[in-house]
């Protein structure tokens, strides 16, 4: 008659623990990590959905957080237990670096930026390099007599202009920018260079035909935010450096050169700000060690040196 009883189940029969011994049932309810509530089991599905607890923001973040870090080859969650204590090598090295090493990282990063800008400019001028090498390896009679002068000038112009554009566009000016964004800046600089070449060709054609010389907007237009804000004031030394740099370039290249020089000044100011921040942090750590009675000999030497400079 089991099938007959199943047609007339009561609300109490919905309890899966109803047939257990009362003492065993009490033990399971007390020791089980999952608490089973018989009252909730008897409620209709619609009421259960209405009474469902809301998920907090913390629980939502934990649910959406990746199970394994991006360094794992298996992003489906395999071997997640092996990645629980994982920390990136750069984070560990940053904690163990000395104050001098942190300062040298900032300065080396500034020097490396100059080298990387040169490499990016060479990549954008790859076609000009190919023409130069072909001229040197298999020159025509005219190219032999001129010693590939046109190809060399073409490459030098490309390299200098690409360098100016990369600096003016802020290539490698910040550390928190992704490699994809830096690549987009590099490609945009190459696009602006070829646009400049086409504009120069139109100007040359207009002069030869006796037409009015066309006017073009600046190659590097300033963003709207910078247009609304006043131009950053330069010191007397920076103004003299800017005037000297502008005198060495042609008239049509001075706008890009000025933006490049101003970008260099901004990068130098950012590096100086980071160095000052490191010095301030080191001083705070030194004062904290002094308050705990853990001041080292080097702390005493640096403290005396800074106090002498303050006088």
Q: What is the pLDDT of residues 292-305, one digit of tens each?
A: 877 776 666 666 55
Q: Is the pLDDT of residue 1 over 50?
A: no
Do residue 46 and residue 116 come from a single domain?
no
22-58 pLDDT, tens digit each = 766 666 666 554 454 544 444 444 444 444 445 565 5
Q: What is the mean pLDDT of residues 107-117?
A: 81
Residue 38 domain-assigned? yes
Residue 201 domain-assigned? yes
14 CA to centre of own chain = 58
| Of 214, 230, 256, the domain-final residue | 214
Look-up of token digits 């100059």: 114
Residue 256 domain-assigned? no
Residue 289 CA to residue 95 CA, distance in Å, equals 17
First to last CA, the chain: 102
DSSP single-letter state for residue 220? S
Q: What is the mean pLDDT of residues 158-163?
A: 93
| Of 51, 73, 97, the domain-final residue | 51
Q: Is the pLDDT of residue 184 over 50?
A: yes
Please tell me which residue, 174 or 59, carries the higher pLDDT value. Answer: 174
| Of 214, 242, 261, the domain-final residue | 214
Residue 262 has what pLDDT? 86
Confidence of residue 190 (pLDDT cuts 50, 70, 90): very high
Residue 175 domain-assigned? yes
Please tell me which residue, 92 or 257, carries the higher pLDDT value. Answer: 257
Residue 290 domain-assigned? no
Show the tokens assigned to 207: 């002069």
Q: How far is CA 154 from CA 92, 199, 283, in A?
A: 47, 16, 52
Residue 56 domain-assigned? no
Span of 69-78, 98-107, 161-170 with lowest mean pLDDT: 98-107
The answer to whether the pTM exceeds 0.85 is no
Residues spanned by the domain of 24: 15-51
Confidence of residue 133 (pLDDT cuts 50, 70, 90): very high
How many domains are there within the chain? 2
- CB-CB contact of 281 with 273 (8 Å): no
Show the tokens assigned to 99: 């104050």
Do residue 188 and residue 119 come from a single domain?
yes
The runs of H, that is alpha helices, within the chain are: 2-7, 22-31, 38-41, 45-50, 57-64, 89-96, 99-124, 126-137, 141-146, 149-168, 179-209, 224-228, 236-247, 254-291, 297-310
Residue 127 has what pLDDT? 93
Measured from the Cβ of residue 9, the count of other Cβ atoms closer than 10 Å reads 9
């Amino acid at each position: 008659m089991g099938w007959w009883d199943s047609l007339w189940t009561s609300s109490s029969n919905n309890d899966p623990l109803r047939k257990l011994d009362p003492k065993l049932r009490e033990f399971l309810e007390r020791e089980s990590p999952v608490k089973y509530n018989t009252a909730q089991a008897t409620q209709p599905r619609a009421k259960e959905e209405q009474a469902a607890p809301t998920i907090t923001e913390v629980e939502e973040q934990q649910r959406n957080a990746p199970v394994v870090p991006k360094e794992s080859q298996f992003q489906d969650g395999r071997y997640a237990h092996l990645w629980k204590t994982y920390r990136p090598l750069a984070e560990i090295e940053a904690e163990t670096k000395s104050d001098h090493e942190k300062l040298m990282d900032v300065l080396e990063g500034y020097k490396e930026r100059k080298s990387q800008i040169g490499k990016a400019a060479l990549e954008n001028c790859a076609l000009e390099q190919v023409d130069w090498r072909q001229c040197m390896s298999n020159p025509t009679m005219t190219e032999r007599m001129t010693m590939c002068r046109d190809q060399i000038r073409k490459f030098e112009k490309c390299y200098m202009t690409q360098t100016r554009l990369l600096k003016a566009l802020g290539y490698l000016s910040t550390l928190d920018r992704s490699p994809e964004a830096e690549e987009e800046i590099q490609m945009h600089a190459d696009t602006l260079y070829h646009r400049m070449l086409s504009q120069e060709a139109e100007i040359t054609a207009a002069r030869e035909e006796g037409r009015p010389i066309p006017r073009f907007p600046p190659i590097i237009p300033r963003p709207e935010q910078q247009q609304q804000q006043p131009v950053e004031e330069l010191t007397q030394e920076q103004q003299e450096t800017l005037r000297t740099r502008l005198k060495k370039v042609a008239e049509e290249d001075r706008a890009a050169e000025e933006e490049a020089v101003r970008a260099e000044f901004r990068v130098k100011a950012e590096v100086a700000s980071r160095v000052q921040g490191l010095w301030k942090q080191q001083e705070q750590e030194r004062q904290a060690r002094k308050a705990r009675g853990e001041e080292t000999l080097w702390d005493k030497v640096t403290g005396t040196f800074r106090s002498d400079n303050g006088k």
